[in-house]
Structure 1
Amino acid sequence: MVGLLAPASALRQVCSGCARRVRLPGPALARTPGRMLAASYSQVSTVPLAYELHEPAKPVADKQTSPIIFMHGLFGSKKNNRTMSKVLARDLGRHVYTLDLRNHGDSPHDPKHDYTVMAADVAEFIRKHGLKEPTLIGHSMGAKTAMVLALNQPDLVANLVAVDNAPVDARLSSEFPRYIQGMRKIDEAKTTRQAEADEILKPYAPSPTIRQFLLGNLHRPSPGDRTQRFRLPLSTLARALDHLGDFPYKDPAEARFVKPALFVRGTQSKYVPDDVIPLIGQFFPLFELVDVDAGHWVISEKPEAFREAVLRFLEPKE
């Protein structure tokens, strides 16, 4: 992959406050649909995605069918981005759909879980709801889903915001298998109280914030059931972990998204190292990069910095 990287001198950087913005304009490229390497969309079986719709109090007239589609990361759900979605709907006057990706939240479970099928699910959601020129916003797993969809079907997408992930193969943190181990222990224990589940999870997830995030997936399967279980199909996601760091596209010559793209990364995170920035520019030649003083959970750690970056990117330019 090193051979795909442009020299660091090709980057133009401008520092302002705690955020660094990088813009790497590429040559004028013909917009040609990408070729999905893992499978063609015609061969993919999609699932209908659960969602919440956040409507602005004062919608912009020409944005009725040009919404924002917000996608969470691994072990997340549409609930995670609820507050930010309401804020963006208010500030931009646009409808915001927060999705549950397959095998998460209220969306159906399916044994196949990779970026090809997740992107196909979102593409079908866009078509089914008659959405025109949506903005895709995705964090982590949702960011790669957004990138794959934009590269494969650019005509469906107006622009995208990728939060703390990059179009590269990268090994997932060893924390994720431990989280699944802990969640399995909770299911085996048949807990009835949140505090009990939290205590079981502590050795696997020391951070109270991470534990709260994971335990948000607990529910009681039926009204009369006192036992809490995870909504997530843990076995399916455990099998998928080895591939969730992968990116289906290996060669920027096969697919480019030549519309605006914003990449927001946490400076304390390792998901978007400096040496992949030129590769981002080859897949997304009109990209901008904003650095936020945060870890991987950029949106929850620094919501105002994230909001400001998105507003600058999406507000109409003079």
Structure 2
Amino acid sequence: MKLNSIIIGEGTPLLILHGFLGMSDNWKTIGNKLAEEKNFQVHLIDQRNHGKSPHTKEHSYALMAEDIKEYCEQNSLSNIILMGHSMGGKTAMLTAAEYPDLVEKLIVVDIAPKYYEPHHQQILDGLTALEEANLESRQEADKLLSEFISEKPVRLFLLKNLNRKSEGTYCLKVNLETLKNNIEEVGKSLPQDKTFNGPTLFIKGGNSNYIKEKDKQEIKKQFPEVKFEEIANAGHWVHAEKMTEFYESIVDFL
């Protein structure tokens, strides 16, 4: 599979994997800073069934980890730094565990290796309504989505998935059907025998409950060289909510 990506700058390859229903564009601001100020070659990747990457009927962490390995082969990348948020964090964990010779350092943003129950139903219902409507403007899409999701920042994030078709109507970039059919896969845990012994940073939003204190012992078993960082007054989208503090955390680690 050939994943779509935005590549910025020259230097040590740093691959960034977005979360569920996200895309490469979500990380452009941080990607530009890392490339310009710290001499990384940043690869902002659309994972399968997201953004402009291929749509398939299958969606699993095993496949997504394989996609990243293939991407590195296609682009002649080695000794990469791999960073992932939420679903992308789980892909990053498994990639590092399966292909440790490929990954130099690992950064996981606000997700643990444990199982999470499906909790995106309202968002999926809202996106389904968008897909079924014959939308003619982004304002119309936002109004419809607001019936399902009250938080404006979440709606703005989701509306990045809107794509204008040639006849002026809109469709979704994300492969909604496959993601709904495989929603159990998104919450799956990293198998306990999968470990990565390289330098690892787990970043948690202070207001987020995705990583709990009791999860840290399990994380240490699978990632023995782990460092934990908590960013105060940030939720699950810690990189967007507290960009300066987040950026400083990853630069310190790298």
Q: What residue identity is the alignment partner of 1:246?
A: K
Task: Give the alignment partner of residue 273 of structure 1, picking from 194, 198, 212.
Answer: 212
Q: What residue identity is the alignment partner of 1:209?
A: P
Task: Give the alignment partner of residue 227 of structure 1, picking from 163, 169, 182.
Answer: 169
Question: Which fold has the larger relative contact order, with Cα–Cα distance below 8 Å and residues 6 or more apart in sequence?
Answer: 1
Aligned partner of 2:8 in structure 1 is: 54
Aligned partner of 1:288 in structure 2 is: 227
8 Å Cα contact 2:94/2:194 also seen in 1: no
8 Å Cα contact 1:102/1:109 also seen in 2: yes
Shift in Å at residue 186 of structure 1? Answer: 1.6
Aligned partner of 2:158 in structure 1 is: 214
Q: Deviations over 1:220-251 (max 9, x none)?
A: 23x2x1211111121111112122111241x2
Aligned-residue Cα RMSD (Å) equals 1.1
What is the distance in 2 between the residues matched to 1:105 and 1:233?
A: 9
Residue 119 of structure 1 pairs with residue 72 of structure 2: no
With structure 2 as the length reference, what TM-score do the two structures score? 0.97
Residue 131 of structure 1 pairs with residue 70 of structure 2: no
Shift in Å at residue 179 of structure 1? Answer: 1.0
Report SS of the residue matched to 1:148: helix
Report SS of the residue matched to 1:268: coil
Residue 303 of structure 1 pairs with residue 247 of structure 2: no
What is the distance in 2 between the residues matched to 1:195 and 1:267?
A: 33
Shift in Å at residue 172 of structure 1? Answer: 3.4
Shift in Å at residue 255 of structure 1? Answer: 3.2
Task: Give the alignment partner of residue 195 of structure 1, picking from 139, 143, 151.
Answer: 139
Q: What residue identity is the alignment partner of 2:146?
A: K
Aligned partner of 1:98 in structure 2 is: 44
Residue 88 of structure 1 pairs with residue 34 of structure 2: yes
Percent identity, aligned pairs only, is 34
Q: What residue identity is the alignment partner of 1:300?
A: A
8 Å Cα contact 1:89/1:95 also seen in 2: yes
> Number of residue pairs matched?
253
Q: What residue identity is the alignment partner of 1:283?
A: Q
8 Å Cα contact 1:101/1:118 also seen in 2: yes
8 Å Cα contact 1:116/1:248 also seen in 2: no
Shift in Å at residue 218 of structure 1? Answer: 0.6
Residue 256 of structure 1 pairs with residue 195 of structure 2: yes
Aligned partner of 1:177 in structure 2 is: 121
What is the distance in 1 between the residues matched to 2:141 and 2:237?
A: 23
Task: Give the alignment partner of residue 151 of structure 1, picking from 84, 90, 97.
Answer: 97
Shift in Å at residue 256 of structure 1? Answer: 2.1
Moved over 4 A (4+): none
Shift in Å at residue 142 of structure 1? Answer: 0.5
What is the distance in 1 between the residues matched to 2:172 and 2:40?
A: 33
Q: What residue identity is the alignment partner of 1:282?
A: K
Q: Which runs of 5+ in 1 are unaligned?
A: 1-46
Shift in Å at residue 91 of structure 1? Answer: 2.4
Report SS of the residue matched to 1:274: coil
Q: What residue identity is the alignment partner of 2:8?
A: H
Q: Deviations over 1:118-171 (max 9, x none)?
A: 111011101111111000011001000000001111011001100000111121
Q: Deviations over 1:255-311 (max 9, x none)?
A: 321110000001111110111101110100000000012100000000011100001
Q: What residue identity is the alignment partner of 2:225?
A: L
What is the distance in 2 between the residues matched to 1:230 and 1:255?
A: 34
Q: Deviations over 1:36-72 (max 9, x none)?
A: xxxxxxxxxxx210000111xxx5xxxx4x3100110
Q: What residue identity is the alignment partner of 2:36?
A: R
Report SS of the residue matched to 1:295: coil
